[in-house]
Chain A
Amino acid sequence: MSIFYFIAFLTILFAVLVISAKNPVHSILYLVLTFFTFTIQYILLNAQFLAIVNFIVYMGAILVLFLYTLMLINLNKDSEPMKTNLVKIAAVLGGGCLMVVLVGALKALGVSQPVVLKNPDLGLVKNLGKVLFNEFLLPFEVSSLLLLSAMVGAVLLATKDKKTTA
């Protein structure tokens, strides 16, 4: 029980560090740690397939993509744009109000049932694969189309256009 709260605390701590770090590279590294705590949460829920996919796709692919983009853009601390203090206070107040409303509404619900793992095989690859390739076969194929179009779009957007580039 306590391991959930410890990991939850770490998740929130690293998430706050992601948005408060001045250097974007530090932000990305804290984001890696945040996603790692998410992976631990998935393992605690026995969602092993999601844990592995989260580990490979998020920590492997997406964050490497972020780091490469940052390397291409070559930002440093001096060029980091910062908002004025008034806008910062307004942003924290706005987000804090959202958090207070959500948590307060949940508190009003009272104590809920504990999360019980009814079927220990629920998150295993064998079980999820059967669901994925029976009920969700068409969305699975469509998502492959989505990934293909995203790949083509990314290449098209990032390629230098000789005529329009100033």
Chain B
Amino acid sequence: MESFFETVKTVPLNHYIILSSVIFSIGVIGVLLRRNAIVIFMSVELMLNAVNLLLTAFSVYHGDPNGQVFVFFIMALAAAEVAVGLAIIVMIYRNTNSVDINVLNRLKW
């Protein structure tokens, strides 16, 4: 078990930051690229997860457990956000029969 975690010790912190930046950027591209509200929501989840991974890497790097507790709170927040957001999407679908966000540009039904 110890030797398994030895493998991480050779990864520079920069590479974690680069990985998180790339995933965050992919999330941003997803938000800009798609018109389906659910896929946009999934891209937001991707961005949240990139930040979570970065916080965990920093937490391990500094040996500080506060970062990991913060990630736990972000996960609780994400669960709440997804529940409310998907309820809103269901309501939009019921009113407009579509999840296309371009339908909503008038901000009224």
Q: What residues of chain A have their CB less than 8 Å away from a CB belonging to chain B?
A: 1, 3-5, 8, 11-12, 15-16, 18-19, 24, 27-28, 31, 34-35, 38, 41-42, 44-47, 49-50, 53-54, 57-58, 61-62, 65-66, 69-70, 72-73, 75, 79-83, 88, 90-92, 94-96, 98-99, 102-103, 106, 109, 111-120, 122-123, 127-128, 131-132, 135-136, 139, 143, 146-147, 149-151, 153-155, 157-158, 160, 165-166
Contacts and interface: CB of A to CB of B under 8 A. Distances in A.
- Which applies to chain B's interface (DSSP): helix, strand, loop or mixed? helix
Nearest to B58: A115
Given A62-B82, A102-B25, 17 more contacts: A1-B7, A27-B42, A75-B38, A91-B33, A94-B32, A95-B26, A95-B32, A98-B28, A106-B21, A115-B9, A115-B13, A128-B68, A128-B69, A146-B80, A155-B87, A157-B88, A166-B95
Interface of B: 2, 5, 7-19, 21-30, 32-36, 38-39, 41-43, 45-46, 49, 52-53, 56-57, 59-61, 63, 65-66, 68-69, 71-73, 75-84, 86-91, 93-95, 98-100, 102, 109
Contacts of A3: 7
